Chain A
Amino acid sequence: MRTVLSGRRRRLVAAAAVAAATALVMSACSGASSSDGNGKVTLTFLSHYGDEPMKSGISKLIDQWNSEHPDIQVKQQTVKFDDLLTTLNVRQTGGRGADILSSYALWGGQLAANNVLDKPPADVAKDIKSNYSPAAAAAVTGGDGQVFGYPTEFNTYVLYYNKKILADAGYDTPPADWAQLKEVAEKTTKKDSSGNYQVQGLSLIQDGDNQTAHPFLSLLDAAGGTFLKPDGKSALDSKAKATMELESELAKSGATTTSIMPTKAFPANQVAMAIQASWWIGSLKNQMKDDYKNVGTAPVPGPKAGEQGSLAYAFFTGVNAGSKHKEQAWQFLTWFNSHKNKEGVTEMGDFLASNGLIPPRKADADILGPKLQAADPNLKPIYEAAGYAMAESNAANAYKAKTSLHNALDQILVNNAPVGQTFDSLVAEINRK
């Protein structure tokens, strides 16, 4: 009897030891921020700013904060953009989420629905709603009105065109409506005897995830349509169908193809026109050197002359709802996004503008915009688009819906699928989700 009891006790003790060890490991793993006995707090900041030139710009700001605020130190953790959402997901689930998160606004609804994002203090939310460009503020505000965080990287879409290719085809100005867009695209397209493209008329894809979605959404905005309702249901209507028809006709005529990536072909003078984000301008300057003089930008045209549209997307910096030091994290973020330099421009706005991005804060854009546009007139349509662009949806299912949109557009552009059927399937798929 005694043996049995001691055996049970031993098993109990063993189980307790395992549980204690597990608890110890779990407690060691939970929480990313730390604080020492003297009240000094170290916050972690997860972003995709691990590569130059963004890395050193962000680091400079953080170093300045750390030297001015010895009690609240910020430690950077960087991953590649392709790994950002996965890292956010895995670390958050494992209880190792960073205190401050940099995220693509498209994911904002998903993160908010899963209680990852802390609601910003009232003054922060008010600052974002009143002092940021409407498109940037809308991009970081959920369907229920929750602001996710401060907008950072902010991009609009415009039509890039190669002046020389257009001039050779007999056009001195960029297309002003869809009929002209089709005409110029078809006329500038050239193929060799083997069927290889020498010049693609109009590129409707971009590098990265869901390549066809953003150019389409820019054209859709120009047609007066929208993509998703605030609850994530489809808002696609006859205007979206007309936009799909346009892309379908361009693909059928061979004026556009998904087999050529404009990021490589445009700088090599192998693409006449491309609908691309504003960040591309810096990349083109670096790659094209003297040939950059051939590059022009114009608003993405609508069905009729005078109509124009653009898609605006943004990143944001927000605070983890699970952080133990949310107040300090917001304190840092407020400084990070509002601290001004001698010219009265926020350091963040200045840094973004120096990297070819639009400063999302209106006051920054008002000061920096005219100067930068005087130096490079191609920036004018980009800055102007911030005033009328459609903000990218950030509903909880936005990423999934955008992927469905990309697949549907791919069907049209690559497989020449019938627009009506593809459109109906897409709407049904989005609404089913």
Chain B
Amino acid sequence: MTGTYLTAAPEAVSELNASEPRTRTRSRRFRREGRAGYLFLAPSLLFFLIFLILPSFFAIFLSLSKWGGYDLTQIHFIGVQNYTDILNFDSTFVSPILVNTLVFAALAVVLAVAGSLVVAQCIERLKLQGFWRFLYFLPVVATVVAIGNVWKMMYQPSGLINGLLNALHINSIGFLSDPKIALPSVAVVQAWASIGAAVLILTAGIKAIDRSVYEAAEIDGANSWKTFWSITLPLLRPSLVFVFITQCIAGLQSFALIIVMTKDGGPVNSTNVAAFEMYQQAFKFGAWGTASAMAMVLFLIIFIITLIQLWVSRRAGDDD
């Protein structure tokens, strides 16, 4: 054993010696390739660094500072004061602003997901599916300003919707002037405008479901509702989770539609949401620290909600 070892050892050593230049060459090649890889990645990494990482760190720093904008030399570190200012009972940030944000996002998500599911299911049974998908996708292509203004006109006391209500002998509704109705009214528009993208994803999801499952269900005598409830919906869950998460994030970050439709988050702050308040604090009032602290709180909320959604979907077995 020892002799073998002894006789084998010089061979092994010589083999090792022979393979050393090869290994070195290979590792040099890997390093060269690695460098080339990083070089190719550099533009995107640089973009990512400049436009995402650095601003994120700057926003975190600003959330702990007092800064009026304009002059970068006048940033004063104040610790967590911005957070204590916005997260107390006297502050309007928690109520009504954060409450509005969550209600708005929830309404928009529920309406958009439910609406897109119904539309996707209906399109699946129609002829000219491409045309219908195109039709529902149109609002996604249109600008938020155009959509907001058209709906604003329809919501007016003398607008189309109130005209129809009056024709049915129903009193006019102050869709954008009644604080109780204004937020749901804007949430409906947000949902309507985002249905198109969700429909595309869901119709793709429906098409990916194996037809044989439906055939088996038909043979077993399942009706349309049972098929939808027991086959379509469970097998569509990955697409639904994606739609849910993206719609939820869009709802929580919504800003443009609010500013177009209600201009100042009114009436009585009833449509004031976190993203709009951040804009006001930073660009109107010069309270960049407060705005950044609000951004951090909103980020945390979106992060937690997304984690919960992923956790729920995983528990339901999507990852299997």
- Which of A116, A397, A399 meets B70, CB within 8 Å? A116
Report how far A211 CA is from B177 CA in the complex, Å: 13
Interface size on B, residues (CB 8 A): 31
CB pair A403–B284 under 8 Å, yes or no, is yes
Q: Which of B19-27, B108-116, B209-217, B260-268 contacts A (4 or more CB under 8 A)?
A: B260-268
Interface string of B157-187 (1 = CB under 8 A from A): 1100000001001111010011100000000
Minimum CB–CB distance for A19 against chain B, Å? 14
Does B283 belong to the interface (CB within 8 Å)? yes
Report how far A407 CA is from B266 CA in the complex, Å: 8
For residues 42 through 86 of chain B, which have their beta carbon under 8 Å from a beta carbon of chain A?
68-72, 74
CB pair B268–A411 under 8 Å, yes or no, is yes
CB pair A414–B284 under 8 Å, yes or no, is no
CB pair A110–B68 under 8 Å, yes or no, is yes
CB pair B284–A210 under 8 Å, yes or no, is no
- B90, B269, B286: most-surrounded residue (chain A CB, <10 A): B286
Does B228 belong to the interface (CB within 8 Å)? no
Report how far A276 CA is from B285 CA in the complex, Å: 25
- Which of B157, B166, B263 meets A259, CB within 8 Å? B157
Report how far A400 CA is from B171 CA in the complex, Å: 37
Q: Which residues of A contact B92 (CB under 8 A)?
A: 407
Does B206 belong to the interface (CB within 8 Å)? no
- Which of B74, B170, B267, B286 meets A258, CB within 8 Å? B267
Q: Which of A86-94, A175-183, A234-242, A336-344 contacts B (4 or more CB under 8 A)?
A: A86-94
Does A196 belong to the interface (CB within 8 Å)? yes
CB pair B287–A86 under 8 Å, yes or no, is no
Interface string of B107-147 (1 = CB under 8 A from A): 00000000000000000000000000000000000000000
Report how far A89 CA is from B90 CA in the complex, Å: 29
Report how far A185 CA is from B170 CA in the complex, Å: 27
User: With A114-B74, A114-B286, A399-B284 in contact, is A414–B267 under 8 Å at CB?
Assistant: yes
CB pair B286–A110 under 8 Å, yes or no, is yes
Report how far A196 CA is from B169 CA in the complex, Å: 12
Report how far A211 CA is from B266 CA in the complex, Å: 10
Interface string of A103-115 (1 = CB under 8 A from B): 0000000110111
Does A85 belong to the interface (CB within 8 Å)? yes
Does A410 belong to the interface (CB within 8 Å)? yes
Interface string of A186-207 (1 = CB under 8 A from B): 0000000011110000000000
- Which of A111, A115, A414 meets B177, CB within 8 Å? A414
Does A260 belong to the interface (CB within 8 Å)? yes
CB closest chain-A residue, reference B283: A86
Does A415 belong to the interface (CB within 8 Å)? yes
User: With A85-B283, A196-B157, A210-B264 in contact, is A428–B68 under 8 Å at CB?
Assistant: no
Does B309 belong to the interface (CB within 8 Å)? no
Does B253 belong to the interface (CB within 8 Å)? no
Report how far A92 CA is from B157 CA in the complex, Å: 42
Does B280 belong to the interface (CB within 8 Å)? yes
Does A209 belong to the interface (CB within 8 Å)? yes
Report how far A210 CA is from B265 CA in the complex, Å: 10
CB pair B179–A403 under 8 Å, yes or no, is no
Report how far A209 CA is from B90 CA in the complex, Å: 24
CB closest chain-A residue, reference B67: A114
Q: Which residues of A contact B72 (CB under 8 A)?
A: 93
Interface string of B244-285 (1 = CB under 8 A from A): 000000000000000000011011110000000000100111
Does A406 belong to the interface (CB within 8 Å)? yes
- B71, B90, B178: most-surrounded residue (chain A CB, <10 A): B71
Q: Which residues of A contact B171 (CB under 8 A)?
A: 194-196
CB pair A415–B268 under 8 Å, yes or no, is yes
CB closest chain-A residue, reference B281: A400
Does A371 belong to the interface (CB within 8 Å)? no
- B70, B171, B178, B287: most-surrounded residue (chain A CB, <10 A): B70
Minimum CB–CB distance for B168 against chain A, Å? 10
CB pair B172–A195 under 8 Å, yes or no, is yes
Does A432 belong to the interface (CB within 8 Å)? yes
CB pair A115–B70 under 8 Å, yes or no, is yes
CB pair B69–A114 under 8 Å, yes or no, is yes
Report how far A197 CA is from B177 CA in the complex, Å: 14
Report how far A429 CA is from B88 CA in the complex, Å: 13
Q: Which residues of A contact B283 (CB under 8 A)?
A: 85-86, 89
CB pair A114–B287 under 8 Å, yes or no, is no
Minimum CB–CB distance for A108 against chain B, Å? 12
User: With A196-B157, A259-B157 in contact, is A400–B285 under 8 Å at CB?
Assistant: yes
CB pair B284–A85 under 8 Å, yes or no, is yes
Q: Which residues of B contact A414 (CB under 8 A)?
A: 177-179, 267-268
Report how far A391 CA is from B201 CA in the complex, Å: 57
Q: Can you spell out 17 A-B residue pairs with CB atoms less than 8 angstroms apart?
A: A86-B283, A110-B286, A114-B74, A116-B71, A195-B171, A196-B172, A209-B264, A259-B174, A403-B280, A406-B264, A406-B266, A407-B92, A411-B268, A414-B177, A414-B178, A414-B179, A432-B90
The 9 closest A-B pairs by CB, nearest first: A259-B177, A114-B70, A400-B285, A114-B68, A195-B171, A410-B268, A92-B70, A86-B283, A414-B267
